[in-house]
Chain A
Amino acid sequence: MADSNDKIKVSIDGISVEVVPGTTILNAARQIGGEIVPPAMCYYSKLEGSGGKCRTCLVKVSKGSEKDPRPMPKLVASCRTTVMDGMEVQNITSNEVLEARKGVVEMLLINHPLDCPICDQAGECHLQDLGFEHGAAATRYEFERRTFEKIDIGDKIQLHMTRCILCYRCVFVADQLTNQRVHGILGRGDAAEISTYIEKAVDNDYSGNVIDVCPVGALTDKTFRFKNRVWFTKPVEAHRDCPTCSGKVTLWYKGEEVLRVTARKDAYGEVEDFICNSCRFEKKNTADWVIEGPRKVANTSVIASNHYSELKPLPVIKDNPKLKEANKNQLERSVRL
C-alpha cells in the first residue's frame, strides 16, 4: 500500500488532487468528483483492458509533468492515460475538449436511434446523459441509418444491435467473467456488430452481466423489458446467501412485485460486484432476499423523480412472519425513522 509520500500531484481544471502513481486521469478526476469528471462510455473500472475506444473522455494535457512540462500534442483518452507528477489537465475548461466531445456525441448518435421513449434503457442510459450534456440540438447527418435484423441470443437477454455503440464492454465481460464466450465483434468499421457464433445463444451463469455493463439499450433484460419505466420503480438494496456470487443486488420494485434484479452500481454507473444469472433472473420474490434499505439515488438521476430516502417496509414484508424475521433489523430501523 502506497503511503501519502508516494503520491503524485495532478491538477484537473485547476483543482489539485494527490493520487497514487499509476492512476489514470479519469480516476484522478473521480477522486475529485463533480462536473470535472470526464464522461466514459466504454471504460469500466472492473473490466481489465476496457476504455480508450469511445473517445468521450478525451482531455487536454496542457502540462505533461514537472520534469517535462511540454503539453501533449493531441487530446488523450483520460481513461487510459496515467497521471504524472505535476501534470495539468483541462477538461471542461478547454474549448477544444468540449468541441471534440460534441463531435464524438454527434458521431455516436449517427447510428444510435433516439428512441428513448420506447427504449428500456431510458433513464439509465449514459448516452442519453452525454447527449443532453454535450450534444447539439440537431444532427447534420442526412443519410440512412444502419439497421439490423433481430438476432435471438437466448431467452434472457435481448440484443438490439441497432442501438449498439460498440463500446466492447459486453465482450470484455464475456472474456473475463464467463467460461463459454460465444459472442464478440464481427465485421469492420461501421459495419462492425456484436454477434454470437452461428446459432449460439448467450447462455452461461454470468452472462446477465452484459446487460448491466451496456451503457445504452443494446442489451436488455428480457424478463423486465416493457414491464415498466425505471423511474416508476423503487430500487431497494438487498442480499442473499448465494453459493455462486456475492449475492449483493438491487431489487427494482413496483408495488409489491420485484420487476427486475440488477447488480449494485456505484456513483459512476459501474457494477460493484458482478452477479450470477440465478440471482438476476430466478430470484424475483421478496422472500428470496434480505432487504437492506432503499438504494441511494442521486438528485440528478431521473429516478430521483420518485425519490424517497427512508425505508417504508413493503406490505408484503410486514404481513409475512418469515420475512419479518429476516428483515427484523430493517423493520426496527424503519420504526426508529
Chain B
Amino acid sequence: MARKLLLEHIDVPYINTLEVYRQKGGYRAVEKALKKLSPDDVVEEVKKSGLRGRGGAGFPTGMKWSFLAKPEGVPRYLVCNADESEPGTFKDRFLMTYIPHALIEGMIVSSYALGAKTSYIYVRGEMMPQIKILERAIEEAKAAGFLGKNILGSGYDLELYVQPGGGAYICGEETALLESLEGKRGNPRIKPPFPAVAGLYNCPTVVNNVESIAATVPILNMGGDEYAKIGIDRSTGTKLISASGNINNPGVFEIELGLPVEEFIYSDEYCGGITNGKRLKAVVAGGSSVPILPANLILKTAKGENRLMTYESLADGGFISGTMLGSGGFIAFDEDQCIVRNTWNFTRFYHHESCGQCSPCREGTGWMEKVLHRLEYGHGKMSDIDLLVDVSKKIEGNTICPLGDAAAWPVASAIRHFRDEFEWHVTNSDEAQIRNYGLAHYADPLTLAG
C-alpha cells in the first residue's frame, strides 16, 4: 500500500468539516508555522522538500517563492490556481470537494511564508459546488481563529477569498488568471515582468496550483527533509493522478512519485488494467496538452528502461519518444480507439479556448481543427498530414502563452507515433465516412447542423 499524504483521510466521514479535519490532525501545520517558524523558515522547508509545481509545469515551488520581490510598503499576494480545466485532469476539484480544509490550511501556511495578508482562491466558474464548499470551509476556519486578524495570537492577519472565474481554460494560465481576477478579460500577459515582480494589481504575486498549496501541509508536518525522501531524485513526494479512459478503475489516485507506469496501469490498487481485457494502445500521461505516447513507449523508455511516474522519466526521450507528467491527467486508450478522432477532439477544445490575442494560436488552432475534422470524416488528403505537422510547428513556441504549445503538441505527437492511422483515414475514406455517418447525420460538431 503506497503512502498517502493528501488523501490519507479521504475515507473518514465528514472529513470536509473543520471538526473532523482537526480530529485527524488538521491545522497542526498552521500552528507550527505561526508559533514556531518564521516565514523564511517555512520557505526553507518547502525548498528542502523539493516540491515541484503540481499544476503542470513542474517548476520548484520553493524556488518560485524565493523569487518573490519584497519591496517596502507594497502588498504581496498569494493566488491559488483552482481553474482546473485541462481535459483529463480532475484532481484539484476532487481535493477541494472532499478535503477543502487541506487547501485552506495550505493557503494559510503559504500566505504566511510569503508575507501575503490577502489571498485568493481562483476557482473555475463552473465549479459552483466547490466554490460553496470552500466558502463554507473558510467561514469555519475564520470562526475557529485560523483566518482573520491576529491568527492564533501570532500577530499575523490573513483574509482569504474565493473568486469564481469566468469558466475559460485560458484563465488557468497564471497571468490570464490575474487579469481575470482584476476584473478584466482573461488574456495572458506578456512576460516579463513575471508575477513575482508585477502580478496582481501590479504587486508581487505567487500563483500556485491547488495541489502544490495543499502539499505544503504535510511538508511542514513532517519536515522538508522527510518529505524529500519520498519519491525519486528530483521528483519528490506524492502526486495526485486523475486517471480516465479505457481503464477499469477510473478516479483520482495519490501515488508516490517513482511508481512504474506499468504498475499504475495494471495494478488493482490503481487503474486495474484495461477495460474488457483489451490491449493498451496509447496514453496521454499528463493532461491533453502533453504528447501522446504509444503503449510500447509509455511502458518503457526508448533505452528500454521501465518508465516511471516522475517528471524526469516521463520526459525521457524529449519530444521524440517522451512526454510529460504535466497536471497528472492520465488518459488510457485501448486498441479500439481512434487516435485521429481523439486528436481532433483535443484540437477542437484548444480552438474553442484560444483567447485570440496572438495570431498563430488564434488562426492556427482553428485551421488544425478543420483539417483534422476533414481527415476524421474521410474527406482528407495525404498532404493534410504534413500540413498539420507544419501548422503545429508554426504555432509551437511562437505564441504569448503556452496554450499554443498545448494545442500543437498533441497533433505533432499523434502524427509522429500514429501516422499510419492518419493515412488510413485518407486511403480508406469510404470506411471513415461510413464509420462516422451516424454521428455526422445527426450533428456535425463543427456546424451543429444535421
Query: Interface of A with B (CB < 8 Å)?
Result: 51-56, 58, 74-75, 77, 80, 99-100, 103-104, 106-108, 110-111, 140-141, 143, 165-166, 168, 185, 187-192
Contacts and interface: CB of A to CB of B under 8 A. Distances in A.
A334 B397 CA distance: 55
B366 interface: yes
B392 to A, nearest CB: 11
B57 to A, nearest CB: 14
14 contacts: A53-B358, A75-B397, A77-B400, A103-B360, A104-B360, A106-B394, A107-B363, A107-B394, A143-B367, A168-B357, A189-B365, A190-B366, A192-B356, A192-B362
B357 A53 contact: yes
Band of interface residues on B: 20 to 34
Interface in B190-249: 190
B337 to A, nearest CB: 27
Contacts of B360: 55, 103-104, 107
B166 to A, nearest CB: 10
Contacts of A55: 358-360, 398-399
Contact of A140 (B185, B361, B366, B387): B387
Contacts, number: 90
A111 B358 contact: no
B80 to A, nearest CB: 24
Given A104-B398, A166-B356, 4 more contacts: A56-B359, A107-B367, A185-B185, A190-B351
10 tightest A-B CB contacts, nearest first: A103-B394, A192-B356, A189-B354, A107-B363, A52-B190, A74-B397, A190-B366, A189-B356, A110-B363, A143-B370
A188 B397 CA distance: 20
Nearest to A185: B185
A166 B393 CA distance: 22
B398 A100 contact: yes
Interface of B: 168, 170, 185, 190, 351-367, 370, 387, 391, 393-394, 397-400
Nearest to B396: A74
A273 B326 CA distance: 49
A8 B96 CA distance: 50
A189 B356 CA distance: 4
A52 B401 CA distance: 11
B353 A189 contact: yes
A100 B356 contact: no
Residue of A80, A106, A111, A168 most packed against chain B (CB within 10 A)? A106
A165 B398 CA distance: 17
B400 A190 contact: no
A143 B355 CA distance: 21
B355 A104 contact: no
Contacts of A168: 357
Contacts of A99: 394
B350 to A, nearest CB: 9
Contact of B351 (A51, A104, A165, A189): A189
Nearest to A106: B394
Contacts of A104: 359-360, 394, 398
B370 A107 contact: no
Contact of B190 (A80, A106, A108): A80
B373 to A, nearest CB: 10
A166 B359 CA distance: 8
A187 B362 CA distance: 12
Nearest to B185: A185
Residue of A55, A75, A80, A185 most packed against chain B (CB within 10 A)? A55
Contacts of A189: 351-356, 361-362, 365-366
A2 B321 CA distance: 51
